[in-house]
Structure 1
């Protein structure tokens, strides 16, 4: 059994519902006020982390609202006391010197609770319409690898002189550096070969998209075996959409309702597909299994009775997953349900012996 702690986080609703956009129980609301209240509620319920995805324009439909990630992260940092704040970033949108300075600012506002999530871009119009351009897949990762090497060293307080293929930095140092630890944590997303190479060399935690346990275990084994130099062992996180109820039948009915509602978003998904680089492995993974939610969603299998979902979480944790970054719908009600019903079961299973865990598992399905 894995010895690392289990942590639970939530995806902030920066561009509306995560499962279906035409759900009467989840009206579209990507406002600052809604996200502020959501994250404050998550912290009160005991969640450990929140991920604020970064888009300048809505990736699903450009006339829909889109919260700006980094200004929101700074504000959340000032309002919260305990929860980790992860802001995603696409390297082409910010020079590494500027981004490192922003990251250190939020790190110090939060008193050492900030992290960045490096995402090497998949939404073509976001970059092309800004005149930045959209290089091919592997070129984006080469750029991101150089970009994060500069950002990491500046966040550590190093006085940096650097010249590479994309950046030239001369005698540059940022003050103050982190007042609470060496630097903010670096999360990395992406499952292609260049992404795996990047996270092994420069990441602290790898975000894996929701997918079956055996696939996740294979990904972890591959990347964990890659050389890390003097860096600590890589940690792992999983994105997942949760549908948990007292019984398996109730959960399946709720899942099928969401699946039916998500089907109404087909025109929106077609636009997103046209705008997405087909080489992005996330998109290939998400097409394997019918699912609800983004980044793999329910493909991770966290659909079932409270006991079933708790057992499934434990199985992923045993395979190496430390952080579960979760989606729900309707978000606030289901986030609360998970905190009150599933997390205590996970904790109880963690403290139980093998015989007791087997007995708990035999009662799955309600």
Structure 2
């Protein structure tokens, strides 16, 4: 398994819908999280995208110099940037980070937000544009000169003179649940990402993407985006889940449901259908809790339980073909430590060891050997 964490570039919270304890997404705070997860042994971090988030490429470029091994999954946005400009930015950051850049292709799912960015294409047209964008983006890395004349994009004598550390280009990640999105994934993508849906639903998507990719003579890897609430006991984990949403009232849920309804994202529709705004039916699969999705877009589910239980649920996804787990928890700094300390020893991952093999002196006398995480 590869375990990623999340950099909350639109702010962080202890409880949803509660301003007490909220934290701005300052550079210092984002740096704290990045350095913590780098030292704890996470493979990488997802940097989100959207009008409420700090710009991902700039965030990654400031965090790469203060970390050592961490990979950065950063969004490119077809329709908001040209493929040649995106390719140049990607090539530069890949070189300057010594091959630690991963590309998250985001077509967008909120027509209101997209209109504010100057994009007025419907759902399927956005994926047609994304297909053309990725044809050009990939060709720039693999051909001396690129000429392309599509329905949405055109380029003449395009060139990318900057070599990358990763060959042929930084790996492409992508999430989307519609038929149009799945075809784009099969045609272009290295790692297909799914939201944290119940395993049976995830299996259907994986099987479909595999079949579509095989028809193109390709293989695709798979990842999943989830929150996680892991505690020493199952009871403590469910208590923490309840506390996370104890300030989420019915009015807030209703307003969030209206916002979700305007979106044309199939993935968001499926996330919303898991609970339909009903806070009495949030365990949508064993230990898979949809409480976050009552009021937050995107990843709306969390694995909840003690370390053995959460590890077993993750293994169920791994058995379906999931290799990369992109996790998060509120607040992200503390939960990065809690997840690594409790969960990592239960997972089939390369564990980071204390390089000096130190012991720690108990205040009551005697040495305490730290867990290797």
Under a length normalisation based on structure 1, what TM-score does the superposition of the two structures give?
0.84
Q: Give the corresponding residue for 1:304.
A: 305
Q: Give the corresponding residue for 1:134.
A: 120
Q: Give the corresponding residue for 1:317.
A: 318
Deviations 1:19-77 (A, max 9, x none): 8443467413222221122111111110001111111x22xxxxxxx311111122222
What secondary structure, in the 3-state scheme, does the structure 2 residue paired with 1:28 have?
Answer: coil
Question: Do the aligned partners of 2:13 and 2:21 also contact (CA within 8 Å) in 1?
Answer: no
- Pairwise mapping of residues 246-261 of structure 1 onto structure 2 (< 5 A)? 246-261=232-247
Question: Do the aligned partners of 2:195 and 2:299 also contact (CA within 8 Å) in 1?
Answer: yes
The reply on whether 1:7 has 2:2 as its aligned counterpart is: yes
Q: Give the corresponding residue for 2:220.
A: 234
Q: Give the corresponding residue for 1:53.
A: 48
Question: Do the aligned partners of 1:207 and 1:236 also contact (CA within 8 Å) in 2?
Answer: yes
What secondary structure, in the 3-state scheme, does the structure 1 residue paired with 2:246 have?
Answer: helix
- Note the C-alpha offset of 1:134: 2.3
User: Distance in 1 between the 2:153 and 2:319 partners?
Assistant: 41
What secondary structure, in the 3-state scheme, does the structure 2 residue paired with 1:101 have?
Answer: helix
Cα distance, 1:209–1:44 mapped onto 2, change above 3 Å:
same
User: Distance in 2 between the 1:102 and 1:242 partners?
Assistant: 32
The reply on whether 1:86 has 2:85 as its aligned counterpart is: no
Cα distance, 1:118–1:349 mapped onto 2, change above 3 Å:
closer
Question: Do the aligned partners of 2:107 and 2:126 also contact (CA within 8 Å) in 1?
Answer: yes
What secondary structure, in the 3-state scheme, does the structure 2 residue paired with 1:187 have?
Answer: strand
Q: Give the corresponding residue for 1:149.
A: 135
Q: Give the corresponding residue for 1:354.
A: none
- Note the C-alpha offset of 1:174: 1.0
Cα distance, 1:10–1:27 mapped onto 2, change above 3 Å:
same
User: Distance in 2 between the 1:199 and 1:311 partners?
Assistant: 28
Question: Do the aligned partners of 2:17 and 2:248 also contact (CA within 8 Å) in 1?
Answer: yes
Q: Give the corresponding residue for 1:341.
A: 342
| RMSD of Structure 2 on Structure 1 (CA) | 2.4
The reply on whether 1:119 has 2:85 as its aligned counterpart is: no
Question: Do the aligned partners of 1:241 and 1:327 also contact (CA within 8 Å) in 2?
Answer: yes
- Note the C-alpha offset of 1:18: 7.3
What secondary structure, in the 3-state scheme, does the structure 2 residue paired with 1:81 have?
Answer: coil
| Count of residue pairs brought into register by the alignment | 333
Q: Give the corresponding residue for 1:160.
A: 146
Q: Give the corresponding residue for 2:365.
A: none
The reply on whether 1:38 has 2:33 as its aligned counterpart is: yes
Cα distance, 1:340–1:25 mapped onto 2, change above 3 Å:
farther
Q: Give the corresponding residue for 1:205.
A: 191
What secondary structure, in the 3-state scheme, does the structure 1 residue paired with 2:79 have?
Answer: helix
- Note the C-alpha offset of 1:286: 3.0
Cα distance, 1:279–1:184 mapped onto 2, change above 3 Å:
closer
- Note the C-alpha offset of 1:207: 0.8
- Note the C-alpha offset of 1:231: 6.1
More helix by share: 1
Question: Do the aligned partners of 2:5 and 2:44 also contact (CA within 8 Å) in 1?
Answer: yes
User: Distance in 1 between the 2:332 and 2:89 partners?
Assistant: 29
User: Distance in 1 between the 2:266 and 2:93 partners?
Assistant: 30
Q: Give the corresponding residue for 1:331.
A: 332
User: Distance in 2 between the 1:123 and 1:26 partners?
Assistant: 29
Cα distance, 1:143–1:19 mapped onto 2, change above 3 Å:
farther
User: Distance in 1 between the 2:254 and 2:298 partners?
Assistant: 19
What secondary structure, in the 3-state scheme, does the structure 1 residue paired with 2:336 have?
Answer: helix
1:77 aligned residue (64, 75, 79): 64
Cα distance, 1:115–1:262 mapped onto 2, change above 3 Å:
farther
Structure 2: gaps of 5 or more residues: 276-281, 283-289, 352-373
